[in-house]
């Protein structure tokens, strides 16, 4: 059974750095054609992709947020960490991590964590 769970602060102050951890089980990030991504959703709004890290440690970022994001992995702990610098109230959202699967040439977020709500406020 594949599970993912996000953890991190629920409240951060403006200008602070957010660090979120995704702890997963049921698969290995060392296996080919697998990745873990981060997606966020402001309250009442649509989903927004943030970053992806792949089985070969390749990384991709949303261009609009790339200067603020860093994604890393710890394969021994089955964890993926996302840091976002210079947080602003507009970054208030539920942050999800998800397993990114590559199947027969296509790619999609096949398994999702429950999400964690992060509020940015002084």
Partner 1 sequence: DIQMTQSPSSLSASVGDRVTITCQASQDISNYLNWYQQKPGKAPKVLIYDSSSLETGVPSRFSGSGSGTDFTFTISSLQPEDIASYYCQQSHNLPLTFGGGTKVEIK
Do the Cβ atoms of 47 and 62 come closer than 8 Å? no
One residue of 3, 16, 23, 62 binding partner 1 per CB under 8 A:
62
Pairing of strands 48-54, 59-61: antiparallel
One residue of 58, 63, 76, 122 binding partner 1 per CB under 8 A:
63
Do the Cβ atoms of 6 and 18 come closer than 8 Å? no
**Contact set for partner 1, span 27-56 (CB under 8 A):** 37, 39, 46-49, 52
Q: What distance in Å separates the CA atoms of residue 25 and residue 4, rounded to the nearest whole number? A: 7
Q: Which is nearer to partner 1, 83 or 111 (by Cβ)?
A: 111
In eight-state DSSP terms, residue 67 is G
One residue of 53, 109, 118, 120 binding partner 1 per CB under 8 A:
109
Q: Which residues bind partner 1 (CB under 8 A)?
A: 37, 39, 46-49, 52, 60, 62-64, 96, 103-110, 112-115
């Amino acid at each position: 059974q594949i599970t993912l769970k996000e953890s991190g602060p629920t409240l951060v102050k403006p200008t602070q750095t957010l660090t979120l951890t995704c702890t997963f089980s049921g698969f290995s990030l060392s296996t080919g054609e697998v990745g873990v991504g981060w997606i966020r959703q402001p309250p009442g709004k649509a989903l927004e992709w943030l970053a992806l890290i792949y089985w070969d440690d390749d990384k991709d970022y949303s261009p609009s947020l790339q200067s603020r994001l860093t994604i890393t992995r710890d394969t021994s702990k089955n964890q993926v960490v996302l840091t976002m610098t210079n947080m602003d109230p507009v970054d208030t959202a539920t942050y999800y991590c998800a397993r990114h699967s590559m199947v027969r040439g296509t790619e999609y977020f096949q398994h999702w964590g429950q999400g964690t709500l992060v509020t940015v406020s002084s």
